[in-house]
Amino acid sequence: ISQVLVILSQAAGIGRCWHCTANTRIQLQLQQWAEFACSGWRSLLQGSPTFFEQSESCTGGRRILLAFDFDQTMVDDNSDTSIKCLFASVNYPPHLNKLYDKYGWTIFMQAVFKHLHDENIKKEDILKCIRPMNLTPGMKELIHLMSKPFIDCIIISDSNAVFIGEYLEANGLGNVFTKVYTNPATFEGDLLKLEPYEQQTGCDLCAVNICKGSVLTQYVNEQQRDGVHYSHIGYLGDGRNDFCPSYCLKEHDAVFPRTGFALEKYIEKIRASKGLCLSASVHPWANAAEIVAKVLLPWIDEIECVADFDNISQESKRLNQLPKLKLETSKR
C-alpha cells in the first residue's frame, strides 16, 4: 500500500513524502485510494472472489447448449450393430428380423442380447465391441471446445445406457456431458437387459420408445426453471428421428445434419414436398471441424465479447465508487 501511496502522491503533485503534507483530508483520501486499489490483488492472492476472477467466467447468464445423437453422429459407427461380429453368421437369425418388423428396434435388440446370452457370449465380449469405436471426423476438435464453462452438452440417443456409458468412460469423455437420455440398460450376469426410455404415441416422427424433440424441449424448460437460459442451441444428428428435435429449435439456433445421411435428405424432402422449413439454420457437415469454424466459434466469440463488455461495465461502476480526490492548496 505504501508504494501505491507514493505513486498516487506523485500523480497528485504532492511529492514523495505524502505523509508530510499538512492537509489531513488529502492524506485520508490517498489512503482510501491505495487500499481500494490493493484490495483486489490481496483478495486474489488469498483465493477470495474478485473482479479479476469473476471476469473469466462471467457471461451475463448467456450459455450454449449442444445436443448430440450418438450413433453415426458422435461416433462413426452404430453401437447396436457393432456387436454383430459376435454372431456365428454374418446376418441376424431370421426369427430376430421378424421381431424388428413387428415390434420395432428396442424389442428387436433385447432379443439380440438374449440370443447372444444363449450362445454363451460374455459381458466383456460385448463391451469389447463398444470401446474401440471411432469418433466421427473432427469430433475431437469439437469436444475440445465443449470444455468452455458456458457450454452445456447432452446426448439424446436411441441406443442404450450401458453402451453409451461404457464408451464415454473408456475414452475419457465421462465428464463432458451433463445428461445422457437413452434407453435404460443393465447387465444381469452376462445378459444385457434393455428397457424403452418411454412409451409415446404423440410423435409420428420418432420411435415409440423415445421422442427426441420432447426430451430436448423438456431439458431446456427445466433449465429455464433453474435460471439457465440458452442464447443458442445446436443439435447434431444423422437419422430421420433427429428431425423432431431439429424442428423444435428457433431462429437463433442451428441444426447440424451429417452429410449424406437420412436427416439431411429428410430435411430437404420435407421442404420440397410440404414447404416446411426449419426455423433454425441448417449446416450439413462431413467433418465436425466445420461446425466449429462456421458456427460454434462465432457463438463463443459473441458470448465472450458480451461478457467482456459486461465486465468493463462492472469495473466502471467499481471505479465510480472510489472516493473523489480533491486537492486543496493554500495561497502563500
pLDDT higher than threshold 60 for residue 50: no
Listed as own residue / partner, the contacts of 273-281 with beta carbons closer than 8 Å and 24 or more positions apart are 278/246, 278/247, 278/249, 279/249, 279/250, 279/251, 279/253, 280/233, 280/235, 280/246, 280/249, 280/250, 280/251, 280/253, 280/254, 280/255, 281/251, 281/253, 281/254, 281/255
Higher pLDDT, 264 or 98: 264
The model's pTM is 0.76
Is residue 289 predicted with pLDDT exceeding 50?
yes
Cα–Cα distance for residue pair 145/151, rounded to 1 Å: 8
To the nearest whole number, what is the mean pLDDT of the chain?
A: 83
Q: Kindly state the average pLDDT of the residues 62-88.
A: 94
Among 69, 77, 80, 152, which one carries the catalytic annotation?
A: 69
Q: How many CB atoms lie within 10 A of CB 36?
A: 15
pLDDT at 297: 95
Helices of type H across the chain: 2-11, 24-46, 51-57, 94-103, 105-118, 123-130, 139-145, 161-170, 212-225, 243-247, 262-274, 289-291, 297-320
Choose, from 71, 152, 158, 253, the residue flagged as catalytic: 71
Q: What is the mean pLDDT of residues 159-175?
A: 97
- In tens, the pLDDT along 100-126 reads 888 888 899 999 999 999 999 999 999
* Predicted local confidence at residue 18, as pLDDT: 46
Residue 135 pLDDT greater than 90, yes or no = yes
71 is catalytic: yes
Domains of the chain, earliest start first: 2-57+308-320 (no CATH), 63-78+134-187+197-305 (3.40.50.1000)
Residue 55 has pLDDT above 50, yes or no: no
- CB-based burial of residue 167 (10 Å sphere; 0-12 exposed, 13-18 middle, 19+ buried)? buried
Which cell numbers in the block locate residue 257?
445434419
146 CB-side CA count, 13 A: 22
| Stronger pLDDT, 128 or 35, i.e. the higher one | 128
pLDDT at 182 over 70: yes
